[in-house]
Amino acid sequence: MKKSHIYTKTGDEGKTSLVGGTRVAKDHVRLDAYGTIDELNSFTGFLICRIEDENTHRILSFVQHKLFTVGSYLATETESMPPKEASIIKDEDISLLENEMDRIDSELPQIRQFVLPGGSESASRAHICRSVCRRAERCIYKVKKKYPVDSNVLMFVNRLSDYFFLLARQESVKNGSEIFWDTSCK
């Protein structure tokens, strides 16, 4: 079997292909969305490197696979073809995140102030994931203005940013270092 080349030279003129074959500019709204999802997936891998809890590690691995699912969905011309089964976010994917968030939240102290990013390295990495996830969500809503986007994709990404927030809190509390906004700025 011949080894494939990593470079194809087909994008040298600033265009790339969507799943479906249409060539679009590299600054197309879909590419911005799935590129941001790819960035989030990379940061999630970076976060995993500092997670010691086996269950959290398993959930984050699930998240990485589902982010790939979201990216492939966003790369598909859903206005002219149905997405492949592997590109569909299911209700149970969202439920898994919600159940995990409920579990984490039940173990955390009640929050009465805004939390600042930081507290520990793992918490900081989770906050980076949260903020990139929010940007990805905004990008997906831009796609939705022009093209069909399945509501489960939007719900999954929305829940995911909340999951990263709770995970950041969990990691901070575990290290006794949750940082709250000092409104006096002193």
In a domain, 62, yes or no: yes
Range of the domain at 130: 15-106+115-174
We report the CATH number of the domain holding residue 120 as 1.20.1200.10
How many structural domains compose the chain?
A: 1
In a domain, 150, yes or no: yes
* Cα R_g (the chain), whole angstroms: 18
Helix axis angle for 29-48 and 121-146, nearest 10°, is 160
In a domain, 5, yes or no: no
In a domain, 144, yes or no: yes
Question: Is 109 in a helix, a strand, or coil?
Answer: coil
Question: In terms of Cα–Cα distance, which of 164, 186, 182, 166 is closest to 174?
Answer: 166
- How many of the other CB atoms lie within 10 Å of CB of 107? 11
In a domain, 186, yes or no: no
In a domain, 126, yes or no: yes
- Cβ 60 vs Cβ 100: under 8 Å: no
- How would you write the pLDDT of the chain (186 residues) with one tens digit per residue? 676 666 565 555 666 665 665 676 566 788 889 999 999 999 999 999 999 899 999 999 999 999 999 999 998 878 777 888 888 999 999 999 999 999 999 998 888 878 878 888 999 999 999 999 999 999 999 999 999 999 999 999 999 999 999 999 999 988 778 777 777 776
In a domain, 2, yes or no: no
In a domain, 68, yes or no: yes
Q: What are phi and psi of 19, to 5 degrees?
A: -70, 115
